[in-house]
Amino acid sequence: MPDPTLDLRGIFPPIPTPFDAAGTIDRDALVRNFEFLNTFDLRGYVVLGSNGEAVHLSIEERLYLLELTRNLIPESRLLIAGTGCPSTLQTIMLSQRAAGFGADAILVLPPHYYTGRMTIEALVGHFRAVADACSIPVIIYNMPACTGMDMDEETIAVIAEHPNILGLKDSGGDVVKLGALHHRLGEGFQILAGSAGFLLPALSVGAAGGVLALANIAPAQCLAIRELSLAGDWDKAREIQVRLIEANTAVTRRWGVAGLKAAMNLIGLAGGSVRAPLLDLGKPEIEQLKSILIDRQMLEPER
């Protein structure tokens, strides 16, 4: 039976998928990255999300990645699998396979190819069908930058009525909406900030934590913001939050996955290259990124 009480409180890095020189998933690189991340008190990991380039992976590659990462993640930490597909049937099939590989919850983007036809009725029907068919809880994923649609409060609230809908990852950054949802749905509906750029504001209106690209390269700082907010030290939390904004923008809105992977390479992790049609950062962009990371105390200056 699904566990609607699964505790999402904490920080989740969305794991990038490293590729080797031949363009295939690099197992050794992934092991290396998890060895680093597992030293921090993270709540778990999101695999096959936007930063994982899931849309560029075949179904076979996605299943291989799920099997591989489940074995790299300690049992005490959660594996959240991104399973959103263009159709309800595809989403259900991938979600059921993810559950079979040991995922603790699934993260589901709304279908968005036929954006103009994605009415509240269509979206509610989709999420309810997925939630009915899955043996693990469902997390709604609102990602306007990739889907071209920003799910409003009413749509999310109606979808959330299903007992197997656990919460929301929101990357839109509308903190007013997040606060309204928390007030309307209560603690039982767990909200995760989808970007480190607004982690503290989201926590201040009731978010349980965050799924943060920046947590791949600055896990300690992301964790500190949440811990300080829980302790009531808002001034110190605000200081760290402000310091992270420029670096977060660089690896999200400005350069996206290519920026995140380049940042991982710079700090000694295995980011590797992106998969076409995405393009890796050029040398001038890497130098700009390096300067930002040094300025924000995420990278030691060269001596």
* pLDDT band per the 50, 70, 90 thresholds, residue 301: confident
Taking the C-alpha atoms of residue 101 and residue 71, their distance in angstroms, rounded to an integer, is: 10
At residue 174, does pLDDT exceed 90? yes
What pLDDT digit, counting tens, does each position of 139-162 carry? 999 999 999 999 999 999 999 999
Mean pLDDT score of the chain = 96
* Contact present, 51 and 14 (Cβ < 8 Å): yes
Q: What predicted TM-score, i.e. pTM, was given to this entire model?
A: 0.96
Average pLDDT over residues 245-270: 97
Taking the C-alpha atoms of residue 8 and residue 11, their distance in angstroms, rounded to an integer, is: 8
| Residues assigned a catalytic role | 169
Taking the C-alpha atoms of residue 136 and residue 98, their distance in angstroms, rounded to an integer, is: 9
Q: Which residue reads 């670096």 in tokens?
A: 247
Q: Mark residue 274 as left, alpha or beta (left: phi above 0; alpha: psi -120 to 50; beta: remaining).
A: beta
Q: Which domains occur in the chain, in start order? A: 10-241 (3.20.20.70)
Residue 302 CB: number of other CB atoms within 10 A?
A: 6
What pLDDT digit, counting tens, does each position of 62-112 carry? 999 999 999 999 999 999 999 999 999 999 999 999 999 999 999 999 999
Q: Residues near 271 by Cβ (< 8 Å), separated by ≥ 6?
A: 16, 18, 260, 261, 262, 263, 264, 265
